[in-house]
Amino acid sequence: MKSLVSWKTASRVCSHTYRNILTVRCTSSSQKGEDVDELAVDLLGLQEKEKIDPSTTNAVLFPGQGSQYVGMAKKYLRYPNVKEMYECASEILGYNLLDLCLNGPRSKIDETVHCQPAVLVTSLAGVEKLQSETPEVLENCYMTAGYSVGEYAALVFAGSLTFEDAIRLVQIRAQEMQKACDKASTGMVSIIGGARTKFNSACNDAVQHCHEHLDVENVVCKVSGYLAPNVRTVAGHLVALEYLQSRKKDYHMKRVQLLPVSGAFHSVLMQPAKKRLRDILANVSISDPIIKVYSNIDGKPYHSAKDIMVKLPTQITKPVHWEQTMHQIFSRGVKENMPNTFECGPGKQLGALLKKCNGKAWANYMPVDVESSDYSNKLDEL
């Protein structure tokens, strides 16, 4: 059955706010006597009426913190609703988000409290580009996922969160994560290893080194992200991360690079932020996703609104299982076709990871964050 999901915009004039939700386009199906509930069941994969060729379907991916750059909003302002999205977000956040995305400075947009809302809104602005130029991409979208804060964009896209609620949640998320970071000297590194690299053993040795040779107790050093085969992020105290950098050859690591983030995200050190986010989320209206949204925690689709309520706050204390998510979305038989994949948001980082995870799926990958002419040319190739 052809996907009947489409992106629709709605304005609430009384509060001058803006939200994006997925709705079910049931014009053609209503003529057949099918109702919206039945269509939603089909889209969630609970009932299959006919086999669908994967090459006629699409997946949308949303990037996370680290993808931002000054000027990232400029190419989207020509599309309907985008300026209103930034205005709405600015009203909620209490500062001019569009100006920050257009003009920086870089030092400010890189701050966690500014970066996360900026990436969220710019990613959803990318959806507006898809809606304007290639609406058929959204009409045939069956699945979505987002890396870290990108998961909030995915949940808005799938109709589980309103645009406004997502902005408020991400603002609180970023603020609480920054507070947790300020309590200790922590950070993250990205590591490229190989078949012989034992990431967990290296982290354990780093903690032991800090205890025995530096007399530092309660050190954290854990894998915080499974990005691709033999590619990880590790979060923890800086003294432990410095050990990994200095001893990388001992663990067969090709590269250990300190990331430009302010703390140990997706680790137990974010526990205070988790509690605050859980309390706030309890008062937010969450809907069942209309299409599959894959969770960072385990790489599997959310089952329901209740599932989102439970897992989403925990996300910031658990590793991001991105490699596992890619396997869940793109596992196919040798002769089976792949869906088309669109990265909605600043940059092309998720495309690079997809290439490492699944080269066949990457052949059908398209970044939305390109000029319209390049986008059209690439789209013709898919």
The three state secondary structure string of the chain is CCCCEEEEEEEEHHHCEEEEEEEECCHHHHCCCCCHHHHHHHHCCCCCCCCCCHHHCEEEEECCCCCCCCCCCHHHCCCCCHHHHHHHHHHHHCCCHHHHHHHCCHHHHCCHHHHHHHHHHHHHHHHHHHHHHCHHHHHCEEEEEECCCHHHHHHHHCCCCCHHHHHHHHHHHHHHHHHHHCCCCEEEEEEECCCCCCHHHHHHHHHHHHHHHCCCCCCCEEEEEEEECCEEEEEEEHHHHHHHHHCHHHHCCCEEEECCCCCCCCCHHHHHHHHHHHHHHCCCCCCCCCCEEECCCCCCECCCHHHHHHHHHHHHHCCEEHHHHHHHHHCCCCCCCCCEEEECCCCCHHHHHHHHHCHHHHCCEEECCCCHHHHHHHHHHC
User: Which one of the listed residues 67, 90, 123, 148 is annotated catalytic?
Assistant: 148
Phi/psi for 216 (5° steps) reads: -110, 125
User: Which one of the listed residues 266, 267, 295, 321 is annotated catalytic?
Assistant: 266
User: Is residue 78 within 8 Å of residue 66, measured between CB atoms?
Assistant: no
Active site residue 148: yes
CA atoms within 13 A on the CB side of 212: 7
Tokens read off for 282? 């309890």
Active site residue 213: no
* Catalytic (active-site) positions: 148, 266
